[in-house]
A and B are shown apart, each in its own frame.
Chain A
Amino acid sequence: MSEPRLVEVRRNVLKQNDVIARALREQFRAAGVFVVSLVSSPGSGKTTFLEKTLTQLQPRYRVAALVGDLATENDAVRLARSKAPVKQITTGTLCHLEAAMVQNALQEWDLHQLDFLFIENVGNLVCPSSYDLGENLRLVLMSVTEGEDKPLKYPTIFNSADVAVVTKNELAEAVEFDWNVARTSIQSVRPGMQIFRLSAKTGQGMEEYLNFLAHQLAEQRAVAHI
């Protein structure tokens, strides 16, 4: 064989995922459904938060959820209590969702019958950051018990998110959570990001966040119909 030489190829490693994600985004737009993906650490209260979100949106909106989990169906069972359609994506050993998994999971659903679709990613603040799922909004959730510097420890995922929710606020005092430090950390890794501080358990602060979602949906539909 001859001497090695360098050939420029320029191939995006995640191209396959990105192509599917783009197709999904277009599908969501055409159906008029607003899609929110949730990323967080394990144990941050993501499922409780999502359960409350689904329950409280339901009187006014048609909502559904896809739930990524490594092995169990516990989360899907809990979310089903909200009476919203919920589908589990069991990822096995995979630590994140990919666009193709979302596409497969949605095959039997008529997206035109939905206003909001929530995609709960696997509890992990590292891996999901690389994968576009076609969502309209990426929501990063952290709880006050995780500490104010969580964003500085996981800057990539916080940077990739569109909105932050700080939950378990009912425990803030007990764990001496410093709100200003947390806000500075978030703004440092993701300047301008909107932050909601709430308690999914007591319901405090939920309304402002739900109004924000309603506004996002209205805005998306207004743009789609121009």
Chain B
Amino acid sequence: MHELSIAMGIVDAALDESQRRGVHVSAVHLRLGALSGVVKDALMFSYEVACQDTPLQGSQLIVEDVPVIVFCAHCEVERELPSVQLFACPECGTPTMDIRHGKELEVFAIEVQEEEVPEEEVRE
């Protein structure tokens, strides 16, 4: 189980953003690919542990599952794989390793509440 080290990486990234922007983070949005090698339930649990005794304690981890999207050279379109056990176009059956999405392990966004800094300075 390596989810705890992943969770600590998430917390580090969010803390860094929080400090840089002078904001309080109430939730972290994560994009998690089906091929990321990370188990969601274990990650949710680990996240809580990783947040302990940090300013992120009590924050929420919101996970957006990203399915595997491949490009089918035969159909010439991107297709979503219904299962990671079969890397073939679900329409025509052509095998493919042209993976376009599904490896994501990305802190996509954070939900923040301003602390004492004026809003202009923290706007994107």
- Chain A contacts to B: CB under 8 angstroms: 1-14, 16, 94-96, 126-127, 129-130, 152, 155-157, 159-160, 187-192
Contact = CB atoms under 8 A, between A and B. Distances in A.
A6 B86 contact: no
B96 A191 contact: yes
Nearest to A187: B95
Interface of B: 1-2, 5-6, 9-10, 13, 17, 21, 23-24, 26-27, 29-30, 35-39, 84-88, 95-97, 105-115, 119, 122, 124
A190 B99 CA distance: 11
B124 A7 contact: yes
8 contacts: A2-B119, A6-B112, A7-B109, A8-B109, A9-B13, A13-B9, A95-B2, A190-B87
Contacts of A96: 2
B95 to A, nearest CB: 3
A1 B87 contact: no
B106 A12 contact: yes
Nearest to B123: A7
A12 B33 CA distance: 12
Given A1-B113, A8-B124, 10 more contacts: A5-B113, A7-B111, A11-B107, A12-B105, A130-B2, A130-B6, A156-B36, A160-B35, A189-B86, A191-B96
A130 B105 contact: yes
Given A152-B85, A189-B84, A189-B86, A4 B27 contact: yes
Given A1-B24, A129-B37, A190-B97, A13 B13 contact: yes
Given A130-B37, A192-B97, A7 B84 contact: no
B46 to A, nearest CB: 12
Given A5-B112, A13-B10, A127 B2 contact: yes
Contacts of B122: 7
Contacts of B110: 6-7, 9
Contacts of A9: 13, 17, 107-110
Given A7-B110, A95-B2, A188 B86 contact: yes
B113 to A, nearest CB: 4
Contacts of A157: 37
A10 B112 contact: no
A2 B108 CA distance: 22
A191 B99 CA distance: 12
